[in-house]
Amino acid sequence: MHKESLLPVAANLSMTGQNADGWYPPGHGDIYASFYNSGLLDQLIAQGKEYIFVSNIDNLGATVDLHILHHLVSQPNGKGCEFVMEVTDKTRADVKGGTLIQYEGKLRLLEIAQVPKAHVDEFKSVSKFKIFNTNNLWISLPAIKRLQEQNAMDMEIIVNPKSDPKDCKFPISLSIFPFPPHPQTLDGGLNVIQLETAVGAAIKCFDNALGINVPRSRFLPVKTTSDLLLVMSNLYSLEAGCLTMSPKREFPTTPHVKLGSSFTKVGTALLPLLSMRHEYLTRFESIPDMLELDHLTVSGDVTFGKNVSLKGTVIIIANHGDRIDIPAGSMLENKIVSGNLRILDH
């Protein structure tokens, strides 16, 4: 909508032509209305289904846990639990994650975008707000139907300014998303704001809602190539459809990985090699051994050969105009590598 007038940008329901820039995703809180209006909700209820498990598409740790489902259907006194939100312990990396609060006798989801600036530091406190929302949700299908028919699905509107698509954390070389992140300013210079609702914000509408503290392994989002490097490494293995931490890792926590702008795009083998020089996949002949890694920072034009091993804290910085090729078979342990290192074919 217009930032100044607060009126919709689109002049009509058409999604083409001049109206194309006027539409954007309304946030995942739209799932309830879409689920109901599509007829899928009634279809699942008619099949005898009672609950739906919902999670973010980028959370590779979100799998169906039958222990949680058993807890849902075995509430005492026949008092059914209509909504369960999986939460997990907050770390320094999760300070912006939404948390659960109790207000007027109901559980509510509090997002950082809803917190006044004067209290943001308090919201980010790991000691005061110890858990955050993984967005793994278990929801009663009959309850969704009841709330939709009563028009009682009340979710707060979140004003969520978006950055320019070129600044997106995880741009893909080939466009696979129907709606890219929406800029605050349209091509014509019009200032806009984006309004969203969050799927977890509906927790206050359901009866006997619960938050369940789950292991951190159930929250494994891949939003950046830094996240992607972790799940592609030998830190994880796929067992029965679940990504599990390798038992060979001494500590259960994941390393802190920060890859620079030269690793931002994932890349694809469909593009010529020269056009891929700044893309993630072409910078690794094989993914390094990271079982004993604590921290990795990579900045600049850096490539990794086969069978590289990283341990402890490793920092690799190629300054502007320099290039660093980590040789095949290298073992870097608690090292800082900078300057210019080229490995040339002969």
> What's the whole-number mean pLDDT along residues 310-320?
94
136 pLDDT exceeds 80?
Answer: yes
Of 175, 166, 271, 264, which Cα lies nearest the Cα of 223? 264
Give the pLDDT confidence score for residue 213 in this predicted structure: 95
3-state secondary structure of 237: strand
Rounded Cα–Cα distance for residues 331 and 308 (Å): 6
pLDDT category, 14, cuts 50, 70, 90? confident
- Tell me how far CA of residue 310 lies from CA of 47, 97, 287, in angstroms: 51, 30, 10
The 10 Å CB-count burial string (b at 16+, else e) for 72-83 is: beeeeeeebbbb
- Residue with the bigger pLDDT between 335 and 272: it is 335
Rounded Cα–Cα distance for residues 165 and 184 (Å): 10
4 pLDDT exceeds 80?
Answer: no
Tokens 């699905």 belong to residue: 153
Give the pLDDT confidence score for residue 20 in this predicted structure: 73
pLDDT category, 161, cuts 50, 70, 90? low
* Cα angle: 257, vertex 260, 262; to 5 degrees: 130
What residues are annotated to the active site? 223
pLDDT category, 268, cuts 50, 70, 90? low
Average pLDDT of the chain is: 83
165 pLDDT exceeds 50?
Answer: no
pLDDT category, 290, cuts 50, 70, 90? very high
